[in-house]
Amino acid sequence: MNPATASAFKGLHAAALAPAALDLKTKELIAIACGVSRLCDGCIVHHTRAAKAAGATLAEIQDTLDVCVLMGGGPATIYGKKA
């Protein structure tokens, strides 16, 4: 990847996760849900760790995954286990 592209993506990552109307923990929980819905193993692992670091509890992560199953059906049950 072009270094300029990588740098731009890093900036986007920081801007999107910066606390604003939603706090970092909530944004990381949303990112877990997006990772599950996109079937992205690396995203799931990264954002689950980040959510825990931001103070997310196991119960909050499980609730997030429950919504993924509701919205994603069968594949979400498999990928949700990766969080």
Q: Is residue 19 very low, low, confident or very high in pLDDT (cuts 50, 70, 90)?
A: very high
State the number of CA atoms in the 13 A half-sphere of 36 facing the CB.
29
What distance in Å separates the CA atoms of residue 22 and residue 25, rounded to the nearest whole number?
Answer: 8
pLDDT in tens, 64-81: 999 988 887 777 777 777
pTM of this structure: 0.84
Domain 20-80 falls in which CATH fold? AhpD-like (1.20.1290)
Any long-range contacts for 52-58 (C-beta under 8 Å, 24+ apart)?
54/23, 54/24, 54/25, 54/28, 55/25, 56/25, 56/28, 56/29
pLDDT at residue 46 greater than cutoff 90: yes
Mean pLDDT of 10-37: 96
pLDDT in tens, 6-18: 999 999 999 999 9
